[in-house]
Structure 1
């Protein structure tokens, strides 16, 4: 059996699609899972159903799993905490334990939101202190992943952008809607500093980590990867307006934090 067999959860999502394509282009045998969509290399399954998930993965027998599936919108987490815990923590633990039993390596995609944003930039050895429930559930996911096997990998990444299927799929592209809605004046946060990262870059990192892992057992534990450009939401809107040549006279910078779930001021990785 090939040593390049990978299961990708959340493979129909913003990051998952890029990860799926990157592994296929690197000549891996891939199986992607999604909650509702099916297609080439894509199987519909609820990964919170542990029995069916285990059956699917055992039948495929991967030597790697990339776990992209998550509830990743902080404001939605607070509205469905039980569902978020099932997906972000319990399903993660099940996958990590199963991977360990099969002798497979799992990459768990985590977030810069595990940090409180008070002392950037953060290294892999800095102590997490998440401010919101989303960050807390992702940190719990990290913990159950690494407790399941010391050979597993946690990859922390910041806010992501890339080819979207709808404008709200990315926290970056959703800002375009503010430029379209020009009938009323709007305030946009110019407070929290983010480091937008393209999904193709994250996908490339996932492939390289697992290919290195096959020849170097020391590739394990926590890794950070993020873009170098620092931007607030208002700064992102300015760049988007420039690219698409859209007026933004109706948008003003807001020095206050974004409304909703608490977010770190600067969680640079």
Structure 2
């Protein structure tokens, strides 16, 4: 791996006097900027790049942490300054920041559009200005779910405001940075700070409390995909671009598992040897003000052809993500491999 050097001046107190010493350390020459680095996906992406030889800067807005930069990506001037100043420009920008809650987008379309579309276009433009590569995270909700599986060249037809905003974001990014990559993803789960952070983990308390009947959707087909797998794929995509600057365009990644929430709930129960007899399958289409695709299964073979990909078995992924939230303390003392 190619390395650069970074020089820091430190102050040392030696035998009653002060010395200034220059310290030189090797730093990775590959530079990545991760937006939304404190979110469900962003955390995994930051860890994956940082642990594998990339000089990585994470940025976030409301949940910025000491190791990350506070950045409002809806502020074009702030985005421009960051990309111009980041260690002689980032090579790769992985754009995880988004409003991904379909209900929120439906109820707040303008603010969601500003984040999912306008800010993404700004980021793409500024990435182009510094000669970088951008990967824009999109969704399988750009499809209507009527004719799966969907490949990268399938015709999008979003059913709700969230899907439309992400599709418009794709178009804006490719307009301002034609060499960018789009990665469409399905339902995600992984290391969560709270169960409500993922549409998969949110049902876990209902699985554990077997004394109460729990009704779960058995209508919509999902591909529950682990964030560590996605992070691994994103790093592989970035490294592929570092070797081949013609790499870009629209790609998909997803789990091999195609399941309803009811089936995911049964899998959770099985993973922890919990009862599932209290779970009830709801086969009717969910009601509400947000229409969702019934089966927007993604075909991810285009990345596999390039040797890119990773799949964590669902049982292992669920155990890894959920064991800290188990009511049964005996499980908390176990380590899953």
TM-score by length of 2: 0.76
Is 2:72 the counterpart of 1:46? yes
Contact 1:11 1:17 in 2 (8 A): yes
Give the drift of 1:265.
Answer: 1.1
Is 2:188 the counterpart of 1:160? yes
Is 2:271 the counterpart of 1:217? no
Contact 1:37 1:43 in 2 (8 A): no
Give the match for residue 80 of structure 1.
108
Structure 1, residues 16-38: CA drift from partner, whole Å, max 9, x if none? 01100111111111110111233
Does 24-33 or 238-247 show the bigger shift?
A: 238-247
Give the match for residue 5 of structure 1.
31
Work out which of the residue numbers 63, 83, 103 in structure 2 matches 1:37: 63
Give the drift of 1:114.
Answer: 0.6
Give the match for residue 65 of structure 1.
93
Contact 1:158 1:226 in 2 (8 A): yes
Work out which of the residue numbers 6, 22, 28 in structure 1 matches 2:48: 22
Is 2:101 the counterpart of 1:101? no
Contact 1:35 1:46 in 2 (8 A): yes
Contact 1:93 1:141 in 2 (8 A): yes
Give the drift of 1:40.
Answer: 5.0
Contact 2:142 2:166 in 1 (8 A): yes
Give the match for residue 262 of structure 1.
291
Q: RMSD across aligned C-alpha pairs, in angstroms?
A: 1.6
| Structure 2 unaligned regions, length at least 5 | 5-27, 299-337
Does 243-252 or 254-263 show the bigger shift?
A: 243-252
Contact 1:3 1:63 in 2 (8 A): no
Give the drift of 1:98.
Answer: 0.7
Does 38-47 or 133-142 show the bigger shift?
A: 38-47
| Structure 1 unaligned regions, length at least 5 | none
Q: Distance in 2 between matches of 1:177 and 1:79?
A: 27
Give the secondary structure class of the aligned counterpart of 2:193.
coil
Is 2:138 the counterpart of 1:110? yes
Give the secondary structure class of the aligned counterpart of 1:54.
helix
Q: Distance in 2 between matches of 1:31 and 1:246?
A: 41
Is 2:156 the counterpart of 1:140? no
Give the secondary structure class of the aligned counterpart of 2:107.
coil
Give the drift of 1:144.
Answer: 0.4
Query: Looking at CA atoms only, which structure, 1 or 2, has the larger radius of gyration?
Result: 2
Give the drift of 1:217.
Answer: 2.4
Contact 1:30 1:41 in 2 (8 A): no
Give the secondary structure class of the aligned counterpart of 2:34.
strand
Give the drift of 1:180.
Answer: 4.4
Give the secondary structure class of the aligned counterpart of 2:243.
coil
Give the match for residue 179 of structure 1.
207
Give the match for residue 81 of structure 2.
55
TM-score by length of 1: 0.95
In structure 2, the CA distance between the partners of 1:175 and 1:123, relative to structure 1 (3 Å rule), is same
Give the match for residue 236 of structure 1.
264
Aligned residue pair count: 269
